[in-house]
Amino acid sequence: MEGKVALEEHFATPDTINPAHDARYASWFPAWPDIKRRLLDLQELRLPEMDKHGIEMVILGLHNPAVQGITDPKQAAEVARRANDTVAEFIAKHPTRFAGFAAVPMQDPDAAITELTRCIKDLGFKGTMVNGFSQVGDPNNVVYLDDPRYEAFWAKLEQLDYPLYLHPRDPLLSREPILEGHSWLWGSAWAFGIETATHALRLMASGLFDRHPKLNVVLGHLGEGLPFMIWRIDHRISQTPRNIPAKRKMADYLGDNFYLTVSGNFRTPTLIDAIMEVGTDRIMFSVDYPFEKTEEACTWFDELHISERDRHKMGRTNAMSLFKLGSTRSASR
């Protein structure tokens, strides 16, 4: 399919790659040198791949954890601002091929609102990508997005009418004894999914979407397992009293306030399950470049045995509409 839009597509700047993270990835990820090279590249390697596989437009977002892992709020704000300026300058040169997600320093909610607003209003960005919890002041002090300190941030995002892409990061390994001694469970194989699905459930249960019903959150990897589990979660909650502020079922929020992308989960039965839970109006194409191969994602998606109408919606028009691509493109800069 030509004209696809992809939106879990990562980049890095030299100061977003944390040395500890870099060393860990290098030690257990054989492809890391090539991935790192591709993260730091915006054009030379990326554009030819997009052209070759029918991706017309990419919304660029930082890799994980990047800004969310910088414990000093002031430094987090500076790194976010520099990364946003760098990518905005690049997008301005290719406004029909690239758009951007703002990196936001959630360590300081007021600074996050300021940066979010600047990125959307002044730079033409299409929302924000947040890499899970933020470490604030101390590496062990983690804050999730359902924390009351973020109420004004969510209100501003709803008012600006753009989504938040909730991207995975590893849980703090020091707090997860079940992962100890099993490094194969870390990262995108398993830990990302359970961490991010739990984070999303916390948002739903907090009543966030009752207070802000127009908010949209995007989850990658076909919903981090939630479509498969959502009935059971609601079923068990209904059987035993829980102290949950939310007014509706979790499945209602999954269907009304979440979009899912196929990033890094190129599996037809899993897609069918996601379609049966949320419908094709709320599923979008993505690759998860450069951690996944563009060719594998596109070949699978282009050859799916689904209607051309659904392929077109998931591959292009759902994203065009959610991110208002096209209508504001010329106002990118």
Q: Which residues bind Zn ion (CB under 5 A)?
A: 8, 288
The 3-state secondary structure of the chain reads CCCEEEEEEEECCCCCCCHHHHHHHHHHCCCHHHHHHHHHCCCCCHHHHHHHCCEEEEEEEECCCHHHHCCCHHHHHHHHHHHHHHHHHHHHHCCCCEEECECCCCCCHHHHHHHHHHHHHHCCCCCEEECCCEECCCCCCEECCCCHHHHHHHHHHHHHCCCEEECCCCCCHHHCHHHCCCHHHCHHHCHHHHHHHHHHHHHHHCCHHHHCCCCCEEECCCCCCHHHHHHHHHHHHHHCCCCCCCCCCHHHHHHHHEEEECCCCCCHHHHHHHHHHHCHHHEECCCCCCCCCHHHHHHHHHHCCCCHHHHHHHHHHHHHHHCCCCCCHHHCC
Residue 226: alpha-carbon gap to chain centroid? 15
Smallest distance, Å, CB 248 to Zn ion?
Answer: 29
Smallest distance, Å, CB 283 to Zn ion?
Answer: 16
**Contact at 8 Å (CB) between 99 and 332?**
yes
Tokens of 64: 């994980």
The CB-nearest residue to Zn ion is: 288
Catalytic residue among 108, 146, 170, 288: 288
Smallest distance, Å, CB 8 to Zn ion?
Answer: 5
Smallest distance, Å, CB 288 to Zn ion?
Answer: 4
Of 56 and 288, which has the nearer Cβ to Zn ion?
288
Phi and psi at residue 174, in whole multiples of 5°?
A: -65, -20
Smallest distance, Å, CB 263 to Zn ion?
Answer: 6
122 catalytic? Reply is no
Smallest distance, Å, CB 10 to Zn ion?
Answer: 6
Of 111 and 197, which has the nearer Cβ to Zn ion?
197
Of 8 and 195, which has the nearer Cβ to Zn ion?
8
Whole-number Å distance between alpha carbons of 40 and 8: 15
Give the type of residue at 266: F
Of 204 and 297, which has the nearer Cβ to Zn ion?
297
Of 38 and 205, which has the nearer Cβ to Zn ion?
38
- Report how far apart the first and last C-alpha atoms of the chain are (Å, whole number): 29
Smallest distance, Å, CB 32 to Zn ion?
Answer: 15
Active site residues: 288
